[in-house]
Amino acid sequence: MNMKKAAILAPCLVAIAAACTPTVRVQAPTEPITINLNVKVEQEIRVKLEREVEDLIASNPDIF
């Protein structure tokens, strides 16, 4: 009787012990990470264009 209980109990204990082990998975994302910096770039371009336009208007006042 003890051998039957041991034969049944041993696989159950192994299954329980295997289920309790922690699993850590490190996985790379499937999509690339994007960083949006358009606002800063647009502001710099606008400032540069505004300065150039102001210089052109100052040098050619009869354009408009």
Which residues make Cβ contacts (< 8 Å) with residue 57, sequence separation at least 6?
63, 64
**Ranges of the chain with pLDDT below 50:** none
- The pLDDT tens digits for 6-18 are 888 888 888 887 7
Give me 27's structure tokens: 């996985």
Instruction: Look at residue 38 in the predicted model and tell me its pLDDT.
Output: 65
pLDDT at residue 39, rounded to an integer: 65
Please report the pLDDT score of residue 41 as a whole number: 56
CA distances (Å), origin 58, targets 16, 50, 52, 62, 64: 83, 12, 10, 9, 11
